Structure 1
Amino acid sequence: MSAARGTSAHPGPPMDGPATGTRRAAPPALDSDPTCARPAEAAGHGPADRADTVAQPPDVVLAWLAARLVVGAALAMTKFIADQARGDQGARLQTTDLLGWDAGWYRTIAEAGYSGAGAESRRFFPLLPTLVRALDQLPGAGGHSGAVLLLIVNVCALGLGLVLVRLGRLEGLDDAATFRLIWFTALAPPAFVLVMGYAEALAGLLAVTVFLGARTRRWELAACAGLLSGLCRPLGILLAVPVALEAARGLPWPGLRRLGAPPTAVAAARTGAPEIVRRLAAIVAPLAGAGIYVLWSAHTYGDGLAPFTLQRDAARHGSTGNPLAVLWHATRGAFHGELGTGLHVPWLLLALAGLVVMARRLPVSYTGWTALVLAAVLTGSNLDSAERYLYGAFPFLLVAALLTARREIFTAALVASTAAMTLYATLAFTLAYVP
């Protein structure tokens, strides 16, 4: 992105020529063809070379600030509505704030531990509350766990934007597509949870870092981020799959050539025993992270699987079901007064369409991981928070950036996305929507 546009206050993509979404030297999505390497890689300019491209921190910071203004406006609107809805008897509309919903659980766990927060709290993985508890011990921070929680997640949200830009550049996104990626990341409808005390910002930052490490063959980075991902969210274990797909690239084993060439020629030659060990460590790391919490739960409470089984309660994600049946039930509900359930259907259909595009435009590791996340959403009988889970599958943001190359399409999409984000945040603060 040119320096002149790097600090622009108007969220419009730079138009330095036809905005195709990727640089001409490296069009995306040739991973679906296992017989050829991506053009940029064949020319000696693979992902590892492009990873050193300077990101656009001013744009990321501007989008980050804009998201907080939007959520702040939604919170102010909520308080205004609550004040106006006050009845003659003093009754008020029930509302919450940035520390409501799941954020309240994380704060309570940080303050009182799992035993003090109750058995139900074990469905929340320990990384975020542990960080809050650790920072709360710093001088002057004691007794302000809520503020510490919000500080951590908002800093992680900024980091997510910066690291995702780096990953997008690595995959060949040009200046205009990177600009769109920045704004969609900040202002996607479910992105208001990145301002609240939720684990999405931390989990997203770790997931992007896992992919960045795997795609650049920095297995130690992928392993560290993967281990923390397993400690952060239940879905963190799914990151073992894309890491395994990337680790299999370039290995001289039958059938693996269908995965395509490895990202760099240098990495392709490193297939000795130490390299295999590093790759295996990166694959196992997300499972090990979750395993640590499972073992602790088993030792402390005698039920190691509780962090997962508690999610299957009907009031939460629900029992496992047929994805088609879940989608059909939600669609029927939209026509039989179950408006809340029906509102999830358009996003799920959009996600399915995005997955098809992803399979054609991005490496197979992105599609494989996103498909697993989408399957996890669709197999739950309760679709509450579906949009938040889908937002956590960040490759959808890459697809959105690729498909909105025309200025008018991007502008309309960003305006609609910002309006939807404001609406969803307001509904969440008025307890009408489960974020």
Structure 2
Amino acid sequence: MPEHTAAAATHTSAPSTLDLLGESDVDRTFWRPGTPYAPPVDESVDIMRGGPVVQTAERASAPTVATPRAPTARVLGAFVLVAAVLAAVVTAADGGRQNPDPTLRAPSWLDGWYQYDAGWYRHIVESGYSYTPGQQSSIAFFPVYPMGVRALRAVVDDTQTAGTLLALLAGAGAVLLFARWAWTRLPRRSAVAAVGVLLLYPYAMFLYGAMYADSLFLLCAIGSFVLLERRWYLAAGLVGALATAGRPVGVAVVVGLVVRTIELIAQDRAAGDGPVGPRDLVQAVRGVRPRHLGVLASVLGIAGWCVYLWLAFGNPVAFVAVESAPGWDQGAGPRTWLKIAYAGTLVKGPRDIAILLTIQAVVCLCAVLLLRRVWQRFGWGYLAYAAVVLAIPILGTKDFMGTGRYALVAFPALAAAGDFLATRRRRWVLVAVLCASAALLLVLTWLFGRSVEVS
């Protein structure tokens, strides 16, 4: 991203009309990308090149108000409330479904969460991996989630129950960790809004019990960055390895951790004298020490998966090859990149499928447009992660199907969306967007429970 000049002034927020999670507004200021937020200490404004306005070393030495901890109990309460509502919706939707799966042994009110990829994960848990070249095969699904389900099944004695429970617990953990991360990087109102955006994201049903791997991946991705912010490089890399062995987009975690590590080195060298620009990042590479290399352990996840595929099936990247199998038809090439199939659906229909695909395309567009704000608020490392985690599904799908779910794990973009909405002059915009998002979440959850492929 090219360097540019950015200028900003401090703003004082009016009393909040939105009392999400019971939190009030605080004064807003600008700070170095990627560093914890602190309320303003004076009225001066700096003009710096290469990034947003930051505190100077002189201002940084002045006393600041400590950022309070995230309201964990309230965030968890909000998660439980949304989970209960969506459980009721998906149960009601599944009740009208024809020909339910007779092999399911879990309570019937869990059946609505058992759709599409859940069958593949169940097969992996109970029968292991298989691969037939040219056909849809289970090796398309990375191992961390099904292995976690297998471990939990030893406790609850049912694959479906274990899969739903693991997805739900991981979703709760991801939301709590996201709130903690956002609380140290955004003003109070923006952090509250960011949590609201995540909880009510139209495709957030995958955080609340759907037997998919997304919630566990999100938990591992956020966890790796939280550990990195504490300078626990090896721990961040090991948790990142769970992410890279959990989803194909896990490579974004490796990229993000590496860039963020270099950015932290650059920030330590700058000592508050200015924002980190591209030149600073390049120069900071010289400051890399052996302890920093711990983040490279994140590569072990996908590397181990490739080694397994090589030894078991003779193809270390079989998970890429299988995407082009008939029925999935997600092979790489211009037709996929240019979304020829999506254009055909828009022209010829079916119209309901075109609508579902277009919603996901719009979500991706919004996420991409938020990338600049991700950089301004959180820095280069989080920009790198968000950009890669969005680029892989956007370029890799022929018609945007699945991108709404994949965008769920672009957590810096969701945080940037909350910050953007919270700083609008018209306070009703935030409420309106969250209400619209919640309504869409309810509709899509209902459709998901009726076995409609929503993402």
Q: If the TM-score is normalised by the length of the shorter chain, which range does it land in?
A: 0.7 to 0.9
The structure-2 alpha-carbon separation of the partners of 1:64 and 1:425, relative to structure 1 and needing over 3 Å to count, comes to same
The correspondence of residues 326-405 of structure 1 with structure 2, limited to 5 A, is 326=338, 330=342, 333-339=345-351, 340=353, 341-380=357-396, 381-405=398-422
Structure 1: distance between partners of 2:255 and 2:94 = 44
Q: Report the TM-score, using the length of structure 2 for normalisation.
A: 0.76
| Offset of residue 378 of structure 1 | 2.1
Checking the alignment, whether the CA contact within 8 Å between 1:317 and 1:384 is kept in structure 2 is no
Measured at CA, do residues 260 and 419 of structure 1 come closer, stay the same or move farther in structure 2, by a change above 3 Å? farther
1:167 and 1:212 in contact (8 A); partners too: yes
How far the C-alpha of 1:119 sits from its partner, in A, is 6.9
Task: Please tell me whether the aligned partners of residues 63 and 182 of structure 1 are also in contact (alpha carbons under 8 angstroms).
Answer: no
Post-superposition shift, 1:71?
A: 1.8
**How far apart are the structure 2 equivalents of 1:334 and 1:370?**
28
Q: Is the 8 A contact 2:321 2:331 kept in 1?
A: no
Match for residue 439 of structure 2? 419
Give me the whole-angstrom Cα distance separating, in 2, the residues matched to 1:324 and 1:99. Answer: 28
Aligned to 1:70: 85
Rounded Cα–Cα distance in structure 1 between residues aligned with 2:57 and 2:119:
47
- SS of 2:154 mapped into structure 1: coil
What amino acid is aligned across from residue 166 of structure 2 in structure 1? I
Is residue 59–residue 182 contact of structure 1 (8 Å, CA) maintained in 2?
A: no
Q: Does the CA contact (< 8 Å) of 1:332 and 1:342 recur in 2?
A: no
- Distance of aligned partners of 1:316 and 1:328 in 2 relative to their CA distance in 1, 3 Å threshold: closer
SS of 1:342's equivalent in the other structure is helix
Q: Distance in 2 between matches of 1:128 and 1:105?
A: 12
1:98-247 alignment runs, 5 A limit = 98-115=113-130, 120-138=137-155, 141=156, 143-171=157-185, 173-195=186-208, 196-247=210-261
State the distance in 2 between where 1:168 and 1:43 align: 23
Matched, 1:319 2:323: no
SS in 1 for 2:84: helix
Aligned partner of 1:258 in structure 2 is: 277
Tell me if structure 1 keeps the 8 A contact 2:93–2:112: no
State how far apart, in whole Å, the 2-side matches of 1:33 and 1:71 are. Answer: 46
Listed as ranges, the gaps of 5+ residues in structure 2 are 1-17, 31-36, 99-109, 270-274
Partners of 2:286 and 2:243 lie apart in 1 by 26
Q: Answer yes or no: is the 8 Å Cα contact 1:219–1:279 preserved in 2.
A: yes
* 1:54 shift after superposition: 2.0
1:55 is aligned with what amino acid?
A
Could you tell me which runs of 5 or more consecutive residues in structure 1 were left unpaired when the two chains were aligned: 1-8, 84-94, 263-267
TM-aligned CA deviation for residue 33 of structure 1: 4.6
Q: TM-score, normalised by structure 1?
A: 0.79
Change (3 A) 1:119 1:300: farther
Deviation at 1:329, TM superposition (A): 6.1
Separation in 2, partners of 1:37, 1:412: 30
1:347-404 Cα deviation digits (max 9, x unpaired)? 2322222223323333111222211122212212242111001111111210121012
1:96-155 per-position Cα deviation (integer Å, ceiling 9, x unaligned): 6212211222222112221499971111111111122223234xx3x3122122221211
Contact 1:19 1:177 in 2 (8 A): no
CA distance in 1, matches of 2:373, 2:225: 19
Higher mean displacement: 244-253 or 121-130: 244-253
**Deviation for aligned residue 1:293:** 0.9
Q: Provide the rounded CA distance (Å) in 2 between the counterparts of 1:293 and 1:104.
A: 21
Verify the 8 A CA contact 1:75 1:97 in the aligned structure 2.
yes
Q: CA separation of 1:247/1:11 partners in 2, compared to 1, >3 Å: closer, same or farther?
A: closer
CA displacement 1:31-64 (0-9 Å, x = unmatched): x954788429875589xx97x8422112211221
Identify if the C-alpha distance between structure 1 residues 395 and 257 changes in structure 2 by more than 3 Å, giving closer, same or farther. Answer: closer
1:416 deviates by 0.8
Take 1:20 and 1:326, find their aligned partners in 2: how far apart are those partners? 41
Distance 2:297 2:321 in 1: 22
194-203 vs 13-22, greater mean Cα deviation? 13-22
> How many positions carry a matched residue from both structures?
396
The SS at the match of 1:345 is: helix
CA distance in structure 1 between the aligned counterparts of 2:22 and 2:428, rounded to whole angstroms? 10
